[in-house]
Amino acid sequence: MLRIEGYDVKKVMVDQGSGADIMYPDLFKGLNLKHEGLTTYDSPLINFEEKAVIPNGQIRLPMQSGPEAVEVDFIMVNAYSPYTAIVAKPRLHALGVVSLTLHVKVKFPSGDQIEELIGSQFVAKQCMAATILHQPGLKSSASVERGS
């Protein structure tokens, strides 16, 4: 969970391998953002299925994990995701965040202390399962017929 535009936002994926900060429709609508607030973003992105995705635009919003906030240019993508947003390595570095993916947590400096945000293994597994089940052409085990 991160604070974006003054709201606590859940189901944020921390992606250490990405350079793009992504926002999905659920978060865009949940923050009551308007399409008029989007600026042009012309470059297509490649999704996890290695297919090109054309962004709707981008929007700059404040994001924070502790007392410090950074401005983030989120690229708005009209695509399915079990996550509300993906936060990339450059923003994490700007906040001094260290990501521990195995433990689903991030640590960051906050004044004289080191704070940590602990994610949920259960929610991470739910998001992964939702992504797998949402793949086109994939049949669920309940819809597979057995031969006699």
Give the whole-number percent of the chain exceeding pLDDT 90: 25
What is the CB neighbour count within 10 angstroms for residue 79? 14
Non-local CB neighbours of 142 within 8 Å, separated by 6+ positions? none
Q: What is the pTM of this model?
A: 0.67
pLDDT at 139: 45
State the chain's mean pLDDT as an integer: 76
**At CB < 8 A and 24+ separation, what contacts does 113-117 make?**
115/65, 115/66, 117/1, 117/2, 117/65
Domains, in order of start, for the chain: 2-135 (2.40.70.10)
pLDDT at 111: 72
pLDDT at 3: 86
What is the CB neighbour count within 10 angstroms for residue 65? 25
pLDDT at 142: 38
pLDDT at 119: 64
CA distance 144 to 10: 34
Average pLDDT over residues 98-107: 60
